[in-house]
């Protein structure tokens, strides 16, 4: 996927308005703002990480059957904005869960057990919920797109094996 907006995630990223809006939409949904992150006093997830998660979501959507090769702009045009949001949330939360697990520390002082970074089970529950919603919405949209494409006389669509059988039976 040679998307110039996502080509260099390690350098400075100058985003066009579509990408900036998608990043801000994810950040708003997560409520990831410095003024709301009292302990961090910063954003928990930077723009480059959100962009990487967006790129992984696009790759996942394109890899899900029927296989496609849409760019982010094409997916937004085709009505995948909510699906992109949910998929990106899943990727961001999975990344956060890895960080929380790596930094997990329990210690005991004077009979009190204290856990640092012990939010992993709560984040895992969020990941499961959003992954289920994302996969359901993605699959439903891809099926609908495939059906619409198959019914369009100018488009070949992605036919099932029943189309071939039906063709032989009625020939």
- Whether the per-residue pLDDT at 155 is higher than 70: the answer is no
In terms of average pLDDT, the best of 13-17, 100-104, 138-142 is 138-142
Position with higher pLDDT, 134 vs 117: 134
Least confident span in 67-76, 89-98, 141-150: 141-150
pLDDT bin (cut points 50, 70, 90) of residue 156 is low
Q: Cα-flanking dihedrals φ and ψ of residue 119, to 5°? A: -90, 5
The rounded Cα 107 to chain-centroid distance in angstroms is 35
Condensed to tens digits (0 to 9), the pLDDT of residues 19-62 reads 889 999 999 998 877 777 666 666 778 889 999 999 999 999 99
pLDDT score for 163: 60
pLDDT score for 1: 44
Least confident span in 54-58, 147-151, 165-169: 165-169
pLDDT score for 132: 96
pLDDT score for 162: 63
Whether 83 contacts 137, CB under 8 Å: yes
pLDDT score for 57: 95
Q: What is the pTM of this model?
A: 0.73
Tokens of 56: 């992984």
Condensed to tens digits (0 to 9), the pLDDT of residues 91-119 reads 999 988 887 777 666 667 777 776 666 77
Q: Nearest to residue 58, comparing CAs of 72, 78, 77?
A: 72
Q: Give the number of other CB atoms < 10 A from CB of residue 22.
A: 22
Q: Give the number of other CB atoms < 10 A from CB of residue 141.
A: 18
Rg (CA), the chain: 21
pLDDT score for 10: 47
pLDDT score for 169: 47
């Amino acid at each position: 996927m040679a998307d110039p907006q996502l080509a260099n995630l390690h350098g400075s990223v100058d985003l066009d308005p579509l990408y900036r809006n998608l990043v801000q939409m994810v950040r708003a949904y997560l409520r990831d703002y410095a003024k709301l992150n009292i302990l961090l006093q910063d954003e928990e997830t930077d723009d480059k990480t959100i962009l990487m998660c967006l790129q992984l979501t696009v790759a996942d959507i394109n890899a899900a059957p029927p296989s496609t090769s849409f760019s982010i702009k094409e997916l937004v045009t085709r009505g995948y904005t909510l699906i992109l949001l949910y998929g990106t949330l899943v990727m961001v939360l999975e990344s956060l869960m890895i960080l929380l697990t790596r930094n997990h520390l329990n210690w005991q002082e004077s009979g009190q057990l204290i856990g640092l970074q012990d939010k992993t089970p709560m984040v895992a529950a969020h990941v499961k919920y959003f992954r289920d919603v994302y996969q359901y919405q993605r699959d439903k949209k891809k099926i609908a797109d495939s059906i619409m494409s198959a019914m369009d006389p100018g488009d070949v669509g992605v036919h099932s094996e029943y189309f071939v059988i039906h063709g032989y039976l009625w020939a």
